[in-house]
């Protein structure tokens, strides 16, 4: 069956008559009242977007977007423009023992009991240079 031959359901036909009266009494390209858009949304949920947009001469994409929720512009505006990440303070060290062994067989053992961390990479680099 051709889409043109499908009868328009009565609730859509009623809204169609209201829209025609409104369009005839206003200048062309005037915004439709929000109440009529909401009525079209309800009908689109029941009958489908095309079945409502076509006979009412509404913008199909706009009606479909209204059904899907807020637009992407609203979602983008809620994004943070700056995010600061704050690391928790390091846990206090109860003490540790570190052992290094070089390729030449040299060994270094460190027993660290201070509550603060040590620059292990710098210490290892200095030891390698001294051994080299």
92-112 as b/e: b if 16+ CB within 10 A:
eeeeeeeeeeeeeeeeeeeee
- Single pTM value for the model: 0.49
What was the pLDDT predicted at 49?
Answer: 93
Record the tokens describing residue 74, joined without a space.
């609203």
If we measure between CA atoms, which residue out of 88, 46, 86 comes closest to residue 67? 46
Query: What percentage of the chain reaches a pLDDT higher than 90?
Result: 35
pLDDT digit string (tens) for 41-100?
999 999 999 999 999 999 999 999 998 876 555 555 566 666 677 777 766 667 778 787
Query: For residues 12 and 105, what is the distance between their CA atoms, to the nearest angstrom?
Result: 89
Q: Nearest 5°: CA angle at 120, between 117 and 126? A: 135
Angle between the 34-47 and 60-68 helix axes, to the nearest 10 degrees?
A: 80
Query: For residues 68 and 122, what is the distance between their CA atoms, to the nearest angstrom?
Result: 57
Query: For residues 95 and 91, what is the distance between their CA atoms, to the nearest angstrom?
Result: 12
Residue 103 has pLDDT above 80, yes or no: no
């Amino acid at each position: 069956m051709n889409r043109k031959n499908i009868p328009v359901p009565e609730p859509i036909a009623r809204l169609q008559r209201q829209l025609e009266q409104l369009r005839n009494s206003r200048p062309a390209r005037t915004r439709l009242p929000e109440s009529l858009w909401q009525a079209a949304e309800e009908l689109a949920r029941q009958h489908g977007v095309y079945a409502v947009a076509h006979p009412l001469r509404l913008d199909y994409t706009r009606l479909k977007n209204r059904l899907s929720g807020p637009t992407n512009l609203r979602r983008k505006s809620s994004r943070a423009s700056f995010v600061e990440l704050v690391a928790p303070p390091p846990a206090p060290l109860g003490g540790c023992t570190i052992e290094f062994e070089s390729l030449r067989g040299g060994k270094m053992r460190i027993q660290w009991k201070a509550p603060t961390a040590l620059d292990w990479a710098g210490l290892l680099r200095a030891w390698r240079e001294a051994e080299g």
